Chains A and B, each alone.
Chain A
């Protein structure tokens, strides 16, 4: 039988999140940091999808194959999937904005290292 798919997904998701956070904190290069954020996002998305999954479930389309009575027990919850789509779009645009900033920062500072971004402090 092995591990249920949702467990694998959850583990993967949380692992990706941790890797993403590690990347954000560990790497000095802005692009790598942005990749870290991407991984964090993706991890969350996977976790979200996994929470809606029902082992052995089917697509949430009520028809002959899936009666209304069984809908809550046999169908995969469609809401997390819907949420994830939105979250992906938002994550995408945030990543785009960050990349745009990385380009401008590179133009202004001639480097992509986050260590130089300390003009303002205290």
Chain B
């Protein structure tokens, strides 16, 4: 009995029966249609869910026969794993959608009927195995959609709906004609039979028939540029209906293509090209969009293009084993994320993205919004991330590099406009009424976010990456977020405790260099994070994000595969982005930070994909030993890490993000987070050793590093904003580290780690000290600060120590680092780099002296109230202590470093096995340092002389006059080349998007024409 009730065919009985019953019940009594609707929709979902779970438990595929005859004489339906997956997903979306649309559905029995029929039709499209039956279900879905679209009677909505009808009727006409001709040619309409006799489908009529069927399905998926009709509907329809069209109707059409794909084995390239062009161009045009729903429309169309592309390419490569993860993952990701966003748009009720600042004060709304955006952008932990990773790995394995770039570039565009939208939502506008987000309207998007999390874990398991430790950062963040109502300081303490506990567990078994980094970054991170105690405000969401970031860094060092590494990497990026975005004036800088981080991440993704192919294994360990020349992989990976480290040319994101983030967060970013990129370089640089070309590339990397150092120092020299000065200084110091890594020698790497430790402490102190100064003086402009030496003596001492250590003056740690670096370069014979290094040291001395001098000597300009809060001073003192340890007991760090590097380093490289004393003993530091000091002194003498005899001195007193003079003198050199370049690139991309979207004239007949052209082009290309 129960079994009979759960027969999949009952889905149609419920859909059609409910549909016919509803008008009748309407005559009888008011609540009855609604009750019948709920029963029918719920029943359909239950049947689908039960059957799907039976299949998952190993029961065989359900073949549904009708009319008491076997196919092909009768129509048959199938409910297998794929069908079940699609039907269940659509059913869940349908229930949530009905909830969202309930105020509209409740009062109109016609709408209830149409909704039911629509869902039933989609299920039919998924399950049927008969070509003509598929046409019938397609038409049922279309007509129900037309009906539902008329719920909104604004002129624009009516106009858009009419264009939609024109386009879809044209498309289905092709399907009808195609299936009739196919029957004529083959004598069957049964899909399984057609697939079985695929080879017999030849000749002009049969080929044309096939192409007509294909054309219909592609058109229904809204390919670029024949998709203006779809966009108009997404823009003007009620959010709930647009969501259904975007995810449910598309799901039905996509599944039709999926099941008919064996028929189109000769057209797979065409299908992939259509999908790729749609993905790329829709996202490009989306950049210019300001209407929220139309933007979602572009994204919807793009996502369907990506799905099509993935399906076609994987089928082409025969990689059917990856289909569940890639196609299933992308599908479910799009389904819930896009529907959730449409529903959220309905709840917020702002059509233009400018108006979304209305939710800036709504933490729940923002959280859900952020989660859905992260999912759409294909970032962890959501299924789209795992799917995209697998897709790129497969494409790389098949050497389809162009396709990888299409996927990555399109994804970048999509992230750009999606997070541009988020930027609007985080901006609080004075005087704007906050959006009222009712619980019932928020329930569907919240449910989507939850479902996406669950789906993410399932996708991770499919990727064989689901491990507790990998998700530990997110879980900890989740728990802390649940406690986010506590006072700020309590949250900070909780965060530190949990990071300490979970972090210690995470890095427990980490070995070698990774262990050093783990210990250094985690303990450094905790010390710097403790500074957050100086603020008493609640900082909603800040501490959970901080925990996620610090623990992700710990997990990063534990990663043993490319995928784990990339997962943690993306989590670090995302958590730091969301924290930066909370800064008061950080809004304009957070987006460039994210976009450059994503470019960096996509370079890494592509690089890992190539390395995966070259190494023959996804293990990170293989980077040290793998076989083939992997120069291309090295270049991509190195670029990825260099972008993230703010190397010259890519540094434009850095000053804004560092300067405008919260003051204590700046310290964290500069001291700890920036080292993550350095860690990445350590991991992959082994690739370069494998070939001669790789070593040349390393030389190039060294120059990049040194130029970054010089440019960073020069820009720091010209800064009046203390935090910007420190940001550029951070960029400059990272340049040294990059150069040291690029030395590719034992000594170079020891140096790099030494510099990493030194910079971590120094920048932690400086940024925290500046945080204290800003806290007390309320400004961060150098020309408004001064004379703080007496008022803030402790800060003065810590800053002085940090500056001495950073500038490389003896006796502190920086001296050792710089000496090691110069020695190692001399050993390599890189004299050009040494000269640059001396120049950088000189400029570095200048700006550091200026910083210390201006802040603590000279005339007091702003009255400071007193010493910085103890919560800020304590971490600084801890770091000072660490500097002393590092300076006077270098062996404590150097010995483990040396030991960690040794076992892995290729035998061709020098200094293997040599202890640190030997290295120190081998070289005499005196000549090198003396020469450097003399050179720097000479440079200073020259510049001082030029200043004395030169004219045009500024009217400020004392030492500031010297700086003002050179700031003015160097102005012509200070053209922001990189900023202008990237601004130009961005403007050009957006402008091309604006040009492309001119094809969407809004005219229904033009759209019909595009469709015909598209079909003709498809036919010509295939024939």
Contacts and interface: CB of A to CB of B under 8 A. Distances in A.
Contacts of B146: 94, 97, 101
A121 B1000 contact: yes
A48 interface: yes
A105 B170 CA distance: 20
B913 to A, nearest CB: 66
Contact of A97 (B143, B154, B232, B1012): B143
Contacts of A118: 159, 1001-1003
Nearest to B155: A108
B1008 interface: yes
Given A44-B173, A79-B183, A121-B1001, A104 B165 contact: no
Interface string B124-156: 000000001000100100110011001001111
Contacts of A100: 150
Nearest to B228: A121
A60 to B, nearest CB: 14
Given A33-B166, A47-B177, A104 B153 contact: yes
A97 B165 contact: yes
Interface residues of B, number: 49
Given A24-B166, A37-B169, A105-B158, A115 B235 contact: no
A54 to B, nearest CB: 12
Closest 9 CB pairs of A and B: A121-B1002, A118-B1002, A117-B159, A119-B156, A51-B184, A108-B155, A48-B180, A120-B232, A90-B139
Given A104-B158, A109-B155, A119 B236 contact: yes
A93 B163 CA distance: 17
Given A79-B183, A94-B139, A101 B161 contact: yes
Given A115-B1003, A118-B1002, A120-B159, A83 B165 contact: no
A76 interface: no
Interface string B646-687: 000000000000000000000000000000000000000000
B997 interface: yes
Contacts of B155: 105, 108-109, 119
Contacts of A79: 183, 189
Nearest to A84: B180
Contacts of B180: 44, 47-48, 51, 80, 83
Secondary structure of the A side of the interface?
Answer: helix
A71 interface: no
Contacts of A40: 170, 173
Nearest to B138: A90
A30 interface: yes
A114 interface: yes
A117 B1009 contact: no
A24 B1005 contact: yes
A87 interface: yes
A119 B159 contact: yes
B239 interface: no
B162 interface: yes
B630 interface: no
Interface of B: 132, 136, 139, 142-143, 146-147, 150, 153-156, 158-163, 165-166, 169-170, 173, 176-177, 180-181, 183-184, 189, 228, 231-232, 235-236, 285, 288, 294, 997-998, 1000-1005, 1008-1009, 1012
Nearest to A79: B183
Given A94-B139, A121-B228, 8 more contacts: A37-B166, A79-B189, A80-B183, A101-B150, A105-B162, A116-B159, A118-B1003, A120-B156
A73 to B, nearest CB: 13
B160 A120 contact: yes
7 contacts: A40-B170, A48-B180, A51-B181, A90-B139, A97-B146, A108-B153, A108-B158
Contacts of B1003: 114-115, 117-118
Interface string A67-110: 00000000000011001001100100110011011101100110
A121 B161 CA distance: 13
B153 A117 contact: no
B156 A83 contact: no
A9 interface: no
A122 B228 CA distance: 8
Nearest to A100: B150
Contacts of A47: 177, 180-181
Contacts of B189: 79
Contacts of A108: 153-155, 158
A116 B155 CA distance: 10
Contact of B132 (A86, A102, A105): A86
A48 B142 CA distance: 22
Contacts of A93: 143
A108 to B, nearest CB: 4
A24 B1010 CA distance: 13
Nearest to A40: B173
Chain A, interface residues (CB within 8 Å), range: 35 or more
A82 B177 CA distance: 14
A114 B236 CA distance: 17
A15 interface: no
Contacts of B1009: 25
A100 B162 CA distance: 10
Interface string A34-61: 0001001100100110011000000000
A19 interface: no
Given A51-B181, A101-B150, A94 B169 contact: yes
Of A24, A37, A120, chain B has the most CB atoms within 10 Å of the CB of: A120
A99 to B, nearest CB: 11
A21 B1009 CA distance: 10
B551 to A, nearest CB: 44
A24 B1012 CA distance: 11
Nearest to B1003: A118
Nearest to B180: A48
Contacts of A52: 184
Nearest to A114: B1004
B906 to A, nearest CB: 56
A44 B162 CA distance: 22
B1000 A51 contact: no
Contacts of B997: 122
B675 to A, nearest CB: 45
Contacts of B160: 117, 119-120
A40 B158 CA distance: 23
Contacts of B156: 119-120
A120 B231 contact: yes
B143 A104 contact: no
Contacts of A121: 228, 232, 1000-1002
Contacts of B288: 122
Contact of A122 (B161, B166, B1000): B1000
Contacts of A44: 173, 176-177, 180
A33 to B, nearest CB: 7
A91 to B, nearest CB: 9
A47 B285 CA distance: 40
Nearest to A13: B177
Nearest to B235: A120
B541 to A, nearest CB: 36
B132 A30 contact: no
Contacts of B294: 120
A83 B162 contact: no
Of B177, B1000, B1001, chain A has the most CB atoms within 10 Å of the CB of: B177
B132 A83 contact: yes
Given A41-B173, A51-B180, A117 B163 contact: yes
Of A28, A80, A93, A101, chain B has the most CB atoms within 10 Å of the CB of: A101
Nearest to B139: A90
A3 to B, nearest CB: 19
Nearest to A27: B1005
Interface string A3-30: 0000000000000010001001100101
B162 A30 contact: yes
A122 to B, nearest CB: 5
A13 B811 CA distance: 95
A80 B181 CA distance: 10
A118 B1001 CA distance: 7
